[in-house]
Amino acid sequence: MASPVVAQRPAETPARPGRRRRPGIGRRDHLIGWLLIAPAMVYFIIFLLYPALAALYYSFTEWDLHSAPIWVGLQNYTDLFFDDVKYPHFWKSIQVTLQYTLVAVPLTLVTALGQALLINAVRRGSNLFRLLLFLPVVTAEAAVGAIWRWLYDPQYGLVNAVLGLVGIPRQNWLNTPELVIPALAFIAAWQCGISMIIYLAGLKSIPESIREAAVIDGAGPVQRFFKVTVPMLRPTTFYLVVTGIIAALQVFGLVYVIFSGGGNRSVTGGPEQSGLAYVLHIYLYAFRYNAMGAACAMSFILLVFIMIITFVQFKFMKQEAS
Amino acid sequence: MNQKTVRRLPIYIALILLALVSVVPFVWMLATSFKNGPDVYTQVPQLLPLDKKTGEWNPTLGNYEYVFTISGLGTAFWNSVWITCVLVPLKLLIDALAAYAFARIPFPGRDKIFVLMLAGMMVPTITLLVPRLHVTQMLGVYDSPWGIILPNVASVLDIFLMRQFFRTLPVELEEAARIDGAGRMAIFWRVILPLSKPVLAVVTITSFIFHWNDLVWPLIVLNSPDLYTLPLALQQLASTESGRAYYIMAGAALAVVPVMIVLLIFQRRIMQGIAFSGLKS
């Protein structure tokens, strides 16, 4: 396309220092720029900025979505933290979510790293294995929940049948409070494909020369793993831990599907609220009890929590970089 | 060579075991979905659809027929198809236009707006749900397909990814086209978009998967069963027919199989996209 003109350009450019383009096009360009971002901007204002600010406002009100919100100041927040008659399961939902995060994130990352190391170690079939291990990721959470409810079925479930082969007695996984978190964390690890892919990319970026140097220095495979691979993967691990925590704190769809049953949109959060994830708790207050103000307050507590984590991440990354 | 193969054997065994854990749930889902009701509940798990009493080959499509017609998953399937087919291209267009402006057209306040948008990504979805529901009610799109489409019609993450990609394209190409008399829009359509197929593909595929699978927003914004999307209808099925695994697994298969096909076709692009967006963000 018009190569002679391209050739002329470099001679032309330095002639007008400070101004990259012809005068006059600038203002029209501004207009085009604004027009191009206009649809995204309208979306952003209506469906992101306004809702975020509105949620903050509603968190200081009592509101049922239909009548006008009533300003109550900080009462939603203080009631959530201190009134365990009004919000009996608030602390329980925090405990459940933290427990889930504490189990699911490490389990997911160890599984993902293991899978990535194994795939990285073979040439033949590595694409096929990568694909198969990735399948659970693209599965709708409604389907994931449905499938695992069937797999965890106490009487006819495949999980009990397989564990029975190695002599582990039948468990009622989703109906035993102590087993709910491990059962959910196992599903999370089953869906670790994204972390696996990112670990694979991290492994591929470790220079071959470093590995060879370690071999020459007489490091065995185990030593190489802990002295070379793990330190080199630190930024990747850090990123995955942070995003993993943020995602785990917001677990919802899966627990919603798993613990819904017996009719129309009724969800309780599992036996003795052992699966009452924080976001499920918010959902129940917002869309079942119509306590929009309290739900917004809870969601803002989560937002602050996530912002702190993100902030710490930024600090750390800056430290790493310098 | 031979020694190498032997040394790799344990690795392959481990990989096969892991792959089994990954895949068997889907196999089990399909197996259950083709069984007649009574044949599903056997003391020893049975992979093939055999008659419980006689042991004869006894598969059925009846479960699919039932969920497709009587449970309304057929309607839901088509709802999901057309909503995704409207939403994804529309979203792609809006995001690409904005990304191009953010990447290449300097105008006052541009970068501040961009940073503000990025900051908006930090807000958890749950925080936005209640006000978004209120907004859809005020816009008159509550309990309608547009109530799903409009609140999803742009994505800051996708704008960010496309902007990053557009910025890697050589400016010289654009300037050449400009000197040839092409305007901004002509440059966008004829120069930028054709060069950006990789990022457009990634964003399209991941958007398709995300919206096809999305449960939470339809759960909140839809009320009439005949408007349900597939994940929502599946969740309802799993809840109301919770004693009938064969129906639920047929419904799950309807939701899972289309996405699996997309994954099989586009696996390389999806993996690249994840490695790219994962490491960049």
- On whether both B16 and B117 belong to a single domain, the answer is no
Q: Is residue B93 part of a domain?
A: yes
CB nearest B172 (choices: A6, A29, A283): A6
Residue B281: pLDDT band (50, 70, 90) is: very low
Percent of chain A with pLDDT over 70: 89
ipTM: 0.92
What is the domain-level CATH number for residue B241?
A: 1.10.3720.10
Residue B217 pLDDT > 70: yes
- On whether both B45 and B92 belong to a single domain, the answer is no
- Paired tokens of A295: 């739900």
- On whether both B44 and B112 belong to a single domain, the answer is no
- Alpha-carbon dihedral B154, A252, A249, A246, rounded to 10 degrees: -30
Residue A271: pLDDT band (50, 70, 90) is: confident
Query: What is the DSSP code (8-state) at residue A199?
Result: H
Q: How many CB pairs under 8 A join A and B?
A: 303
| Amino acid at residue number A52 | A
Best of B71, B129, B139, B158 to mutate (most A CBs within 10 Å, chain A): B129
Other beta carbons less than 10 A from residue B213's beta carbon: 23
Pairing relationship of beta strands A70-71 and A61-62 according to DSSP bridges: antiparallel
- Paired tokens of B70: 């009587």
Residue A259: closest CA among A163, A177, A159: A177
In angstroms, rounded to a whole number, what is the distance separating the alpha carbons of residues A115 and A133?
Answer: 8
Of B38, B60, B82, which marks where a domain is finished? B60
Question: pTM (2 decimals)?
Answer: 0.90
Residue A23 pLDDT > 70: no
In angstroms, rounded to a whole number, what is the distance separating the alpha carbons of residues A176 and A97?
Answer: 17
In angstroms, rounded to a whole number, what is the distance separating the alpha carbons of residues B190 and B131?
Answer: 40
Residue A297: pLDDT band (50, 70, 90) is: very high
- On whether both B275 and B187 belong to a single domain, the answer is yes
In angstroms, rounded to a whole number, what is the distance separating the alpha carbons of residues B235 and A260?
Answer: 8
Nearest residue of A to residue B32, measured between CA atoms: A150
- On whether both B221 and B197 belong to a single domain, the answer is yes
Whether residue A1 and residue B176 make contact (CB cut-off 8 A), yes or no, is yes
Mean pLDDT of B105-131: 91
- Burial level of A68, CB count in 10 A (0-12/13-18/19+)? exposed
Q: Is residue B67 part of a domain?
A: no
In angstroms, rounded to a whole number, what is the distance separating the alpha carbons of residues B139 and B254?
Answer: 32
- Burial level of A8, CB count in 10 A (0-12/13-18/19+)? exposed
Distances (CA, A) of B120 to A129, A307, B168: 37, 11, 24
Whether residue A299 and residue B232 make contact (CB cut-off 8 A), yes or no, is no
Q: Is residue B146 part of a domain?
A: yes
Distances (CA, A) of B187 to B100, B108, B190, B191: 10, 21, 5, 5
Of B31, B60, B89, which marks where a domain is finished? B60
Q: Of the given ranges (A8-17, A81-90, B21-30, B37-46), which has the lowest mean pLDDT?
A: A8-17
- On whether both B46 and B85 belong to a single domain, the answer is no
Q: Are B184 and A29 in contact (CB under 8 A)?
A: yes
Whether residue A147 and residue B213 make contact (CB cut-off 8 A), yes or no, is no
In angstroms, rounded to a whole number, what is the distance separating the alpha carbons of residues B239 and A174?
Answer: 15
Distances (CA, A) of A149 to A162, A186, B25, B242, B254: 15, 13, 11, 9, 17
Nearest residue of A to residue B249, measured between CA atoms: A147
Q: Are A109 and A102 in contact (CB under 8 A)?
A: no
Continuous segment of H or E residues that includes residue A280? helix A278-283
- Paired tokens of B123: 């807000």
In angstroms, rounded to a whole number, what is the distance separating the alpha carbons of residues A148 and A168?
Answer: 19
- On whether both B144 and B257 belong to a single domain, the answer is yes
- Paired tokens of A23: 């005068």
| Amino acid at residue number B258 | P
Chain B residues in contact with A133 (beta carbon < 8 A): 18-19, 22
Mean pLDDT of A133-149: 95
Q: Are A277 and B236 in contact (CB under 8 A)?
A: no
Residue A8 pLDDT > 70: no
Q: Give the model's pLDDT for residue B278.
A: 55
Helix, strand, coil shares, percent, chain A, to 5: 75, 0, 25
CB nearest A194 (choices: B40, B124, B274): B274
- On whether both B5 and B142 belong to a single domain, the answer is no
Per the listing, tokens 């071999």 go with A215
B209 Cα to chain A: minimum distance (Å): 7
Q: Is residue B66 part of a domain?
A: no
Which residue range(s) make up the domain with B195? 72-280
Percent of chain B with pLDDT over 90: 70
Nearest residue of A to residue B21, measured between CA atoms: A190
Other beta carbons less than 10 A from residue A49's beta carbon: 17
CB nearest A43 (choices: B94, B128, B212): B94
In angstroms, rounded to a whole number, what is the distance separating the alpha carbons of residues B277 and B101?
Answer: 20
- On whether both B45 and B170 belong to a single domain, the answer is no
In angstroms, rounded to a whole number, what is the distance separating the alpha carbons of residues B213 and A141?
Answer: 7
Of B13, B32, B60, which marks where a domain is finished? B60
Q: Is residue B65 part of a domain?
A: no
Other beta carbons less than 10 A from residue A17's beta carbon: 7
- On whether both B39 and B131 belong to a single domain, the answer is no
Q: Give the model's pLDDT for residue A12.
A: 39
Q: Is residue B210 part of a domain?
A: yes
Q: Are A9 and B172 in contact (CB under 8 A)?
A: yes
- Highest mean pLDDT pick, A5-14, A262-271, A310-319: A310-319
Q: Give the start-end residues of each E strand in chain A.
A: 61-62, 70-71
**Structural domains of chain A in order of their starting residue, each with its CATH number:** 90-321 (1.10.3720.10)
| Amino acid at residue number B140 | G
Residue B164: pLDDT band (50, 70, 90) is: very high
- Alpha-carbon dihedral B15, B18, B20, B22, rounded to 10 degrees: -130
Q: Are B211 and B84 in contact (CB under 8 A)?
A: yes
- Paired tokens of B99: 């990304």
Gyration radius (Cα) of chain A, Å:
26
What's the per-residue H, E or C state across A119-148?
HHHCCCCHHHHHHHHHHHHHCCHHHHHHHH
If one counts the domains in chain B, the total is 2
- On whether both B78 and B167 belong to a single domain, the answer is yes
Q: Give the model's pLDDT for residue B110.
A: 92
Whether residue A287 and residue B123 make contact (CB cut-off 8 A), yes or no, is no
- Paired tokens of B275: 């490695």
- On whether both B204 and B135 belong to a single domain, the answer is yes
Continuous segment of H or E residues that includes residue A116? helix A90-121
A32-86 pLDDT, tens digit each:
999 999 999 999 999 999 999 999 999 999 999 889 999 999 999 999 999 989 9
Mean pLDDT of B54-82: 93
Q: Give the model's pLDDT for residue B227.
A: 96
In angstroms, rounded to a whole number, what is the distance separating the alpha carbons of residues B22 and B268?
Answer: 19
B215 Cα to chain A: minimum distance (Å): 7
Q: Are B228 and B75 in contact (CB under 8 A)?
A: yes
Chain B residues in contact with A32 (beta carbon < 8 A): 101, 105, 184-185
Q: Residues near B177 by Cβ (< 8 Å), separated by ≥ 6?
A: A1, B186, B187, B190, B191
Residue A17: pLDDT band (50, 70, 90) is: very low
Q: Cα-flanking dihedrals φ and ψ of residue B50, to 5°?
A: -105, 150
Q: Is residue B228 part of a domain?
A: yes
CB nearest A306 (choices: B44, B122, B262): B122
Q: Cα-flanking dihedrals φ and ψ of residue A217, to 5°?
A: -75, 0
> Mean pLDDT, chain B, as a whole number?
91
Residue A31 pLDDT > 50: yes
